[in-house]
Chains A and B, each alone.
Chain A
Amino acid sequence: MINLAVKEIAYSWFRYVLTAFGLGLLIGVTLTMTGLVRGMMDDAISLIQGTHADLWVVQDDTMGPYAESSTLYDDLYRSIAGLPGVAEVSNVAYLTVQARYGGTDIRVLVAGFNHDRPGEPPYLVAGRPITKSHYEAIADTKTGLKVGDKIGIRRDEYTIVGLTNRMVSSGGDPVVFITMQDAQIVQFQKDNTSIYNDRNRLASNPQLNRPGIPGLLQAVTVSQLSNNKINAVLVRVSPGYDPSGVADNIRRWKHFKVYTYEQMTKILQEKVIVNALRQLGMFMGILAIVSTAIIALIIYTMTLGKIKEIAVLKLVGAKNSTIAGMILQEAWGLGLLGFIVGKVASTLWAPFFPKHIEFIFTDTIVAFLLTMLICTLSSIIGIRAALKVQPSSALGG
């Protein structure tokens, strides 16, 4: 028996390929959305993966610096370092800023770290590590910066001495690493006008500027201008210790919030980016529905276009399964061709997206199976239309 579906596709291949191409672009958008979701989930944890920390000590009743504001004193790490099971500790500070570069702005997450401690960029793809205490930076390649470039962050200018890769914030902003001292200045130091105004406000406060206590105003002023704050303390647990046990110990004795790697991952993926994921999920759902409707319409129209031939086929004894098989195979062909176009298109345009697009083989397989399922379901309308055709409609004019 000849394959009627293949024959019809070959006969009207240009229209078929054009239809599949249009459908493929739609599938490509859906695949890109899937890749975007995966990319966001991957981005969300790339920074915490890069820290190589086991525990995050953050301000009590907060979810840590990636989710909300968290402020701790920078000497806290000393007391944590002495607890059993703690191998290494390090202060970190994070701040999203618009860094100045070449007359334009780059949105980056500034991360302050201590050399050779948790929180340091895990590897470099160019340049060298930071060797000076101030004004040197390591940037993620996504910033577009090169070694030797200079960027302005708040009041100061920093020289890019090294480049790292795949270090982005949960929002997808590339990370610029600077020393902890610089990060504290960037995050907490005020501009000159603010300092001047704050000093005047303190001096005009009679509670703090008492004639009988001459050193009080100076002491308060110094304390107000100090930069002894950080966002979190990263802890690396000694081999053989359970991170959860060490975390419980820190919580019990220090009254801070402590998160393990798993808990921090959960916060980032289920709380920080959840709305973005839901939004993309909604878009993907709508796209799937639109795709289904379009495929159904295409197949229905294709079926209506050969209604007389179907009537003739039925009249001369073709089985319903033969006709349904022809429509189904055409739908599958459309899905297969469309998926190939969509996969190629999404792979080609993915690098041009500002956010990281991550294609996973499992997602591709699932997407392909879903496409074929949608094609199967969509063809039902066409098959119903074909099976409703009366053989008698081949007779008469």
Chain B
Amino acid sequence: MQLLQTSLDAPFAIQMENLVKTYGSGPTAVHAIRGVNLSVRPGEVVGLLGPSGSGKTTLLQCLGAIIDPTSGRIILDGELIYDNGWLIKDLRALRRDKIGFVFQAPYLIPFISVLDNVALLPMLAGQSNSNARQRALELLTVLEVSHRAHAKPFELSGGEQQRVAIARALANKPPFILADEPTAPLDSDRSLIVMNLLARLAAQYNTAIIVITHDDVIIPRFKRLYRLRDGIATEEQGEGLPFPDQPA
């Protein structure tokens, strides 16, 4: 088994080794993921690219502990969680505490306030309402939407909603965030702003982020990315262009 080599010595926030996912069996089996090796360090933002049908969604679901891989290993935050089978019984708690999700659309709960949307995750994790709301307010302040804390999601602009969604993903201080085309509904300027935000937060909270994207505007900003084709991931060095409002 070959471990993915990186140029840095820092421990990985997420590491996949020879991960395989096959749907069905026999002659009709579909090999969605064919021995993918992938790793992301804390504070690093990595791109995951690939055309439709390349296995991105399957890989995302395996990483997000949503579906069972067929074989391989996953190490999350230094803990081996999958070794040809899940070693963690409560995958729901794993997702809640260790993985943040940012979706194409914000998917905020429409009937609770912005503050509660963010505070919901710490509450689900067992934190008291006041602690959870305090944490949520901190994140909303960092993301510059604290002035809309008590508004309902529909009262916010698309960009504000996406920032709230990012705050929600960070609410339980996960070591790793999966962002599934987070800039898809946004124009170029807003896409860059969101990506800049993600990069800043990754550094600020030492969180590893994998961004699945097709967005030509943000792809050149990754320093490192994985290109997925027919279930096989290839690591590439990105251009690492600075974000517009970020010092070069």
Contacts and interface: CB of A to CB of B under 8 A. Distances in A.
Interface in B169-197: 180, 184
B112 A317 contact: no
Contacts of B110: 11, 306, 309
Contact of B120 (A2, A12, A391): A2
A390 B67 CA distance: 10
B59 to A, nearest CB: 11
Interface stretch (B16-24, B32-40, B96-104): B96-104
Interface in B102-126: 103-105, 107, 109-112, 116, 119-121, 123-125
B149 to A, nearest CB: 14
Nearest to A309: B109
Nearest to B67: A392
A382 B60 CA distance: 29
B116 A395 contact: no
Contact of B111 (A7, A315, A396): A7
B116 A1 contact: no
Contact of B112 (A2, A314, A322, A394): A2
B93 interface: yes
A11 B64 CA distance: 31
A68 B176 CA distance: 86
A10 interface: yes
Contacts of A309: 107, 109-110
B121 A317 contact: yes
B92 A396 contact: no
A317 B94 CA distance: 8
B28 to A, nearest CB: 22
A318 B168 CA distance: 14
Nearest to B92: A317
Given A7-B112, A315-B101, A317-B95, A1 B107 contact: no
A394 B101 contact: yes
A316 B95 contact: yes
Given A317-B95, A395-B180, A396-B104, A312 B109 contact: yes
Contacts of A391: 66, 95
Kindly state the interface size class of chain A when it binds its partner. 20 to 34
B168 A316 contact: yes
Given A4-B112, A7-B116, A317-B95, A322 B124 contact: yes
Contact of A396 (B93, B112, B125, B180): B180
Interface of A is mostly: helix
Contacts of B111: 4, 7-8, 10-12
Contact of B96 (A7, A316, A390): A316
A1 B124 contact: yes
Contacts of A306: 110
B80 to A, nearest CB: 21
A305 to B, nearest CB: 10
Nearest to B97: A317
Nearest to B119: A2
A7 B125 CA distance: 19
Interface in A341-397: 390-392, 394-397
Contact of B61 (A1, A316, A395): A395
B246 to A, nearest CB: 29
B143 to A, nearest CB: 17
B129 A395 contact: no
Contact of A11 (B120, B121, B152): B152
Contacts of B123: 1-2
Pick the most buried of A4, A314, A394: most chain B CB atoms within 10 A of its CB: A394
Given A7-B111, A317-B125, A318-B124, 9 more contacts: A2-B112, A309-B107, A312-B103, A315-B101, A317-B95, A319-B124, A391-B66, A394-B107, A397-B104
13 contacts: A1-B123, A1-B124, A4-B111, A11-B152, A306-B110, A312-B103, A316-B96, A316-B168, A317-B125, A390-B66, A391-B66, A396-B180, A397-B105
Interface of B: 57, 60-61, 64, 66-67, 92-93, 95-97, 101, 103-105, 107, 109-112, 116, 119-121, 123-125, 129, 152, 168, 180, 184
Top 5 A-B pairs, shortest CB-CB distance: A317-B96, A11-B111, A8-B111, A312-B107, A392-B66
